[in-house]
A = this chain, B = another copy of it.
Amino acid sequence: MALTLHSAWRATAPYRVRIGLAIKGVTYDYAALDLIAGDQRLAAYRGVNPQGLVPTLDLGDGHVLTQSLAILEWLEETRPTPPILPRSAVDRATVRAMAGIIACDIHPLNNTRVGRKLNRLGLPQEAITDWIHGWIRDGFDALEPMVSRHGGQLAFGDEPTLADCCLVPQVYSARRFELDLTPWPALTAAADRAGLFPAFISAHPNQQPDAKPSAQGQT
């Protein structure tokens, strides 16, 4: 059965899932949404994912998965090799906490729909950029000592984990919003080393069918 990933090249949540699929060696069809044009709000997509968010992973057998972390956990359970979670329960909790800091405490505050809402509330672009930078800063301040303590070549040890699946897209996003990353050398170095792994290269936004590397605007 062919899997179909509903994605948008620059959005960080589907980027996480693309990394996980690539680590596990899973092939899939790529269905692109243009988030600037509002494809995610069209009835056609709402039929697939009523929440109108990306990613969605259609398993092709009638089952449709949403929420990036839930999809990555499903991947780990159905394709255990190579693992993206360590073996001990405490280490798994650490990796999941690192992922949670990004997926719960940074990204939800900075995605397209929130930027649009702040704009409607009359906030000037400068205040919106401050908002975005502030939440990344808080989250990275929490992550940096965790990566320093538990990281090796990557965020946790030397092999890619769920933490890297979340961290690499978040660092990509931080750079896109022109945040100076020098206060967080450990996490930045880990993300940059992860970015050299083949799975992370193939999952990069610029490698996607819908990439428009010269485009502007928040996705």
Quick one: CB contact mask for A165-196 with B, threshold 8 Å, 1 for yes? 00000000000000000000000000000000
Provide the bound-state CA to CA distance between A141 and B96, in Å. Answer: 27
Q: Provided the pairs A74-B89, A127-B121, A131-B117 are in contact, do residues A51 and B101 lie with their beta carbons within 8 angstroms?
A: yes
| Chain B CB within 8 A of A42 CB | no
Q: Who on chain B is nearest to A130 by CB?
A: B121
Contact status B93-A89, CB under 8 Å: no
- The answer on a CB contact under 8 Å between A92 and B108 is no
Contacts of A93 in B (CB 8 A): 65, 70-71, 73-74
CA distance A161 to B62 in the complex (A): 23
B residues within 8 A CB of A101? Answer: 51, 67
A201 at the binding interface (Cβ < 8 Å): no
Q: Separation in Å of the A6 CB from the closest CB of chain B?
A: 14
Q: Which residues of chain B are near A121, meaning CB under 8 Å?
A: 123, 127, 131
Interface positions of A from 89 to 122, Cβ below 8 Å from B: 89-90, 92-94, 96-97, 99-101, 103-105, 107-109, 114, 117, 121
The distance in angstroms between the C-alpha atoms of A170 and B141, with both chains bound, is 27
Please indicate the chain B residues that have their CB under 8 angstroms from the CB of A59 in the complex.
90
Q: Is the interface of A mostly helix, strand, loop or mixed?
A: helix
Residue on B nearest A62 in the bound complex, by CB: B90
Q: Which residues of B sit under 8 angstroms from A134, Cβ to Cβ?
A: 117
Which of A73, A101, A114, A123 has its CB near the most chain B CB atoms (within 10 A)? A73
Q: 20 A-B Cβ contacts within 8 A?
A: A50-B141, A51-B101, A51-B105, A59-B90, A65-B90, A67-B96, A69-B96, A70-B99, A73-B93, A74-B89, A74-B96, A77-B89, A77-B92, A104-B104, A104-B108, A105-B108, A108-B109, A109-B114, A117-B134, A121-B123
A144 to B92, CA, bound (A): 31
Give Cα A123–Cα B114 distance, bound, in whole angstroms. 15
Chain B residue with Cβ nearest A65: B93
Asked if A78 CB lies within 8 Å of chain B CBs, one says: yes
Q: How far is the CB of A80 from chain B (nearest CB, A)?
A: 11
